[in-house]
Chain A
Amino acid sequence: MRVVIAEDSAVVRAGLIEILLDRGHVVPAAVGDGDALIEAVAQHHPDVAIIDVRMPPTHTAEGLRAAVALRRTHPHLPLLVFSQHIETRHVEELLAGPDSGGVAGVGYLLKDRVADVEEFLDALDRVVAGGTALDPEVIAQVLGASRRSRQLETLTGREREVLAQMAEGRSNTAIAEALVISERAVEKHVSNIFSKLNLPPSQIDHRRVLAVLQYLSG
């Protein structure tokens, strides 16, 4: 697939390109700031964009702003956003896209994750397939800060594990693989979680993640 990269650090950019080329992907453009990213997307029509949050000129959340802008102008472009540190607020901004259906996949990961080549490529695939990929750190933060600790206590240990995986944006199949259980078992856990937490059941990953996150931070 065709991947556009926006990352101001030359070392990380080179590393990303190397990994992507190694897997037979194409990188038509690798840029160093938000404006250049928006231009590159308009010019190359990539299948996915990988974006670093902190870029010149302000070195604050340039990348995030560019991502939010792309979300409006190119709602079908999957985005994978990287950050040196996790801000729950950034997740909210990224997920709070247009409500209409058919919204493309979105990912928000700690920069460290690119070091785990498999994990990174897996997240990239999930996002391109229209799913969601949230960093485990985001989930840990949201879970830790959740005001629903009493309801969460009613979940079994396994159900919590499934909930965390679900919140990261994994499909039932992926959860089954990760926890080494059968897909049927995952489905059972998921429906238990939804009924215990009074969540509206949904099959679409993206909606499911949103529902879980909204529930946890609500």
Chain B
Amino acid sequence: MIPSPAPSRRPTWAAFVREPFSRQAWREFLYGVAALPVAVAGFVFTAVSLVASAILTVIVVGLPLFALSSFGVRWLGAVNRSLARRLLGLRVAPPPRLLLEPGLVGLVRSGVGDRPSWRARGYLIVKLPIAIVEFVVAYLLRLGAVWFVLAPLQWAANLGTERVDDHGMVRHYVLNFGSFYFDTWSKTFILVGLGVVAWWIAPWALRMPLYLDRQLLADLLGPTSLASRVSQLERSRAEVIDDADAQLQRIERDLHDGAQAELVGLAMKLGLAKEKLAATGSAGDDQDLARARQLVDDAHRSAKLAITELRDLVRGIHPPALDEGIEVALATLSARSSVPVDVTVTLAASPSPAIETTIYFCAAELLTNVAKHAKASVVHMELVQSGDLLRLGVADDGVGGAHLAGGGLSGLADRLDVVDGQLEVLSPLGGPSVVTVTIPLQP
């Protein structure tokens, strides 16, 4: 069968006639009506907060107040976005969250300097005239159309106006354009025609201010293209990290269930064969038998060596201790340490496997460093969650002098970079040393 071409979306007369009654037209009409009160509220809030803050800056409170108004304009921006999403089907992603820095100075700096808030203010100011135009076109044009179409009825019901015109004539009419009076039954049908035209023009006319509104919404209330690119990259990187970790775990499991098990089975068979060969009476000078014994012996040794090597490899890929959670893994690590370690873990929920792996390797490296260089007698290790951050602290009472430039610690810093983690080293000569690793829970 020959695939039929997709029907072209050429506007037909039928579509044009139906347009004022389409779902889209009604939604746009609703938007045009509803946008006005929202726009007035947005304009008033923005203007008042700007002016009030400017005045109150004299008595200092102006700037913090203005910083706080950033939340208000962002919220109003969200209301506008939600209105546009529900009625116009326009999806605009919210800008990145506003993160206030601690302290009054931090509040002012982050609140006043918040670019998405400034862009929202711009939108809220410009929106007012646009909303007025939208309202007039959406509401008044249709209201007028209805009124025009009903003109003959008004005439018939004798609802018209009566007035003496400039020439002293008594006019009984429904509407006048200057000195043209719709004052006869038949003339009112011109109004019907005009009303019908207005009704069909209304949805198209509304789309002009709406077009402008859509552009401004997307440009001013969404994330900047750079910000959205950054958040997109952050998301995809988090996925890559989790994927990589899941893949390593899969490899580890495959090795365990496959190659490792097969090797153990092989080594067992060789071990048994070795015994059987040894038990075979050493009858005479059978050189082949001696050679076979030697071969099986070698093969047995190789198989055992391969098992050991594979185990070490697997431990480097994905530490099996992690399967039972980070707390257990850290306890196992500290049990292996030659310097006594006391471990405290305070977590509300378990972090993602990738984060757990990073924490584990950091802890392992830090404990190795302590054992190698610090000459410490005790280590305190602590893993706590505070807000969105995980903090691993390793403190020892050793000789100090550790620094980031060293091989081990700089390697750690590289590993941490991948998950946006940070490494802080406090290790004066003579000790004690405190190394703190901070990792965001959501990479």
Contacts and interface: CB of A to CB of B under 8 A. Distances in A.
B335 A9 contact: no
B328 A89 contact: yes
B307 A115 contact: yes
Interface stretch (A13-21, A43-51, A125-133): A13-21
Interface in B271-325: 271-272, 274-275, 300, 303-304, 307-308, 311, 314-315, 320-321, 323-324
A204 interface: no
B308 to A, nearest CB: 7
B275 A118 contact: yes
A115 B268 contact: yes
Contact of B275 (A58, A89, A111, A117): A117
B262 interface: yes
A60 B324 contact: yes
A38 B60 CA distance: 75
Interface residues of B, number: 37
Contacts of A61: 323-324
Contacts of A59: 253, 256, 323
A9 B261 contact: yes
Contacts of B300: 115
Interface stretch (A143-151, A160-168, A170-178, A192-200): A143-151
A137 to B, nearest CB: 10
A54 interface: yes
A112 B275 contact: no
A145 B253 CA distance: 28
Contacts of A146: 338
Contacts of B274: 117
Contact of A11 (B261, B308, B315, B323): B261
B260 A84 contact: yes
Contacts of B247: none
Contact of B264 (A54, A114, A118, A145): A114
Nearest to A60: B323
Going nearest first, the 10 A-B pairs with the smallest beta carbon separation are A115-B267, A11-B265, A15-B268, A9-B261, A60-B323, A117-B271, A88-B335, A15-B265, A112-B307, A115-B271
Interface of A: 8-9, 11-12, 14-16, 18-19, 22, 54, 58-61, 84-85, 87-89, 111-112, 114-118, 141, 144-147, 149, 217
Given A61-B323, A147-B340, 16 more contacts: A8-B257, A9-B257, A9-B261, A9-B264, A9-B265, A16-B268, A59-B323, A85-B320, A88-B336, A111-B260, A111-B264, A115-B264, A115-B268, A141-B336, A147-B338, A149-B338
